Amino acid sequence: MTEHPGEKHHECCRGITRRGFLTSMGVGAVAVGASGKLLAASPYAAPVVGGNEMTRMNFLVNGCSHALLVEPRWTLLYVLREQIGLTGAKPGCERGECGACTVLINNVTRYACLTLALECEGAEIVTVEGLIKGEDLGPVQQAFLEEDAFQCGYCTSGQVMAVEGLLRTKPKPTLDEIRRGVSGNLCRCGAYPHIFSAAQRAAELSAIRAGVKP
């Protein structure tokens, strides 16, 4: 009698006995225990840092030097808001999906909620507060105001920083480049057409302030 492949597989699954299962589990436990002892005895094992152990770090935020004691688990977002008092970067999803916490780290847009503060040792951070010069709004901030590129406003600081980061690498971005540049920032109010227009206007304003023909 020819066995059906499916039936053979089913019989194999049923063929595992209780004794066999317990024997295999016992061998596995011994192996795990032995490997644990080997790992514990290894001279190359990395030291474990306590989650609340304070570590000194230095970085620049909006041109100002800061020397802080931080816990290794603290995010850049937490340090900016709770330790330095800059609340422009917003906690939204806090898992790198909404972009409300976007800042510039060495001129590169990053999610502050997914960046550990200690990763920024010696780095230069720019938040939305750092774009204003005295009483004058930065070109991107001014463009968002002129183009009415916000509704509830919660995502606006992150949107502004995303556009700022884009213009620092592409002073004259195309519409497709603008769309890609802000694709990591969500606007739940759906103000995207105005945000795109603001990015284009910001490019013009930046060129005018730099004395370059738009």
Quick: pLDDT tens for 185-208.
Answer: 999 999 999 999 999 999 999 999
State what percent of residues in the chain have pLDDT above 70: 75
Asked if the model's pLDDT at residue 23 lies above 70, the reply is no
* CA dist., res. 44 & res. 38, Å (int): 11
* CA dist., res. 7 & res. 168, Å (int): 65
Q: What pLDDT, on a 0 to 100 scale, did the predictor assign at position 8?
A: 41
**Which carries the bigger pLDDT value, residue 76 or residue 15?**
76
pLDDT band at 53 (very low <50, low <70, confident <90, very high): confident
Long-range contacts of 54-57 (CB under 8 A, 24+ apart): 55/118, 57/117, 57/118, 57/120, 57/121
Ordered structural domains, the chain, with CATH: 49-131 (3.10.20.30), 132-214 (1.10.150.120)
* CA dist., res. 121 & res. 103, Å (int): 15
In terms of Cβ atoms closer than 10 Å to its own Cβ (0-12, 13-18, 19+), residue 192 is middle
pTM of the model: 0.75
Closest CA to 66 of 75, 74, 56: 56
Asked if the model's pLDDT at residue 177 lies above 60, the reply is yes
